[in-house]
A = this chain, B = another copy of it.
């Protein structure tokens, strides 16, 4: 008997028929003798509808009230889902974040989980119940409802799996798993059977939308085997596991792109100690997230500072910086929204040199100019002009032979699948 945490997203529980179908699916696992904890998101569309209401009454909705509002979405789903389980004869109970209790910090609309009590869940599991838990929500020590931000239900599921020491955490979604790249722009994209936590972390941070990055971080820290798979098919998806459990890794596991960033350059900044802080503190105080930062010394005591921000923060950042440029005695600020970040990710890079230069070579062969470069131990990212996105992705996918399957896998799946 295993303890399995399963999470179903909004499209999986988008209406009452889908809720019933998911209940049937969960039952199959229960009938195999597993203890089941099911984390659910709000029905698709509900969060947007509620957000629309909020903006209709307050231009910038108060964050505490926003959490009070949005957390109702998951509450509706878990109660309906529990009814659906009871209708087919299984005992079940729904629990809210504060009932569990999933304690978070007080950062409303983007709270972080601090602590999870497992006592109540264990009690219900031991009584043979299927426990359904509202995703995306928690509670502060003062009893205020918080939410974990978009994609927060993934985090709830993985955090619960970690706290419960579950045998696996399965994330059911509307795609079949993690792909070597976006199948929409590269037909040769292939589903990855197994990927390491580190690779998945890079992919998630680079724009792959299949998993919330915090949930992968949780999974890595607590070694929770994570299975990303489709709600609508019975086939296996992608297992996100420890690197040691993958016998032979590809040099490059995936190619990803992100069109959501914009590039900003401050020209001729006086190159003094503390200048970076003078620029980035006000930006961070304004809640603007900066991704890549590159500093090039140009002439003598001047330097160019280039960085990327989320496009939706671009206008705000430019207004702020135009003021700042004068204060710090820089020449001017320029920027562009027509850029894309193309990245390759793979733990194989750790042991093989030359992957980055291969990437630069492939892009150059296609006539694509690289505007910025950033590397980590297991990824290389290049900023290019946005119009080259699809071309770059396809060229890299082919050059690194990502359409070829992984080598055989070392061990069996930790959780029996429910395939017949």
Contact = CB atoms under 8 A, between A and B. Distances in A.
Interface of A: 16-17, 19-20, 23, 50, 53-54, 56-59, 61-62, 64-66, 68-69, 71-72, 75-76, 78-84, 86-87, 93-94, 96, 98-99, 143-145
Given A62-B86, A99-B143, A143-B99, A54 B68 contact: no
Contacts of A16: 53, 56-57
B76 A57 contact: no
Contact of A68 (B23, B61, B94, B98): B94
20 contacts: A16-B56, A16-B57, A20-B57, A50-B76, A54-B80, A54-B83, A57-B81, A58-B84, A61-B83, A65-B86, A65-B94, A66-B79, A69-B79, A69-B80, A71-B75, A72-B75, A72-B76, A96-B145, A99-B143, A99-B144
Contacts of A81: 57
Contacts of A62: 82-83, 86
Counting chain B CB atoms within 10 Å of each CB, the highest count among A59, A69, A94 belongs to A69
Given A62-B86, A72-B72, A80 B94 contact: no
A82 to B, nearest CB: 5
Contact of A65 (B50, B66, B82, B145): B82
B65 A69 contact: no
Contacts of A53: 16, 76, 80
Nearest to A86: B62
Contacts of A82: 62, 65, 68
Given A53-B16, A53-B80, A68-B94, A59 B87 contact: yes
Contacts of A99: 143-144
A87 to B, nearest CB: 4
Nearest to A57: B84
Given A65-B79, A66-B83, 18 more contacts: A17-B56, A23-B57, A53-B76, A54-B80, A57-B84, A58-B83, A61-B83, A62-B83, A62-B86, A65-B83, A68-B79, A68-B94, A69-B80, A69-B83, A72-B72, A72-B75, A98-B98, A99-B143
A75 B20 CA distance: 25
B83 A57 contact: yes
A294 B411 CA distance: 78
A71 B68 CA distance: 12
Contacts of A93: 64
Contacts of A76: 50, 53, 69, 72
Contacts of A65: 79-80, 82-83, 86, 94
Counting chain B CB atoms within 10 Å of each CB, the highest count among A54, A59, A71, A80 belongs to A80
A81 B68 CA distance: 11
A56 B23 CA distance: 13
- 10 A-B pairs closest in CB distance: A58-B83, A69-B79, A72-B72, A68-B79, A16-B56, A58-B87, A57-B84, A65-B79, A57-B83, A65-B82
Given A53-B16, A65-B79, A94-B65, A58 B72 contact: no
Nearest to A99: B143
Nearest to A143: B99
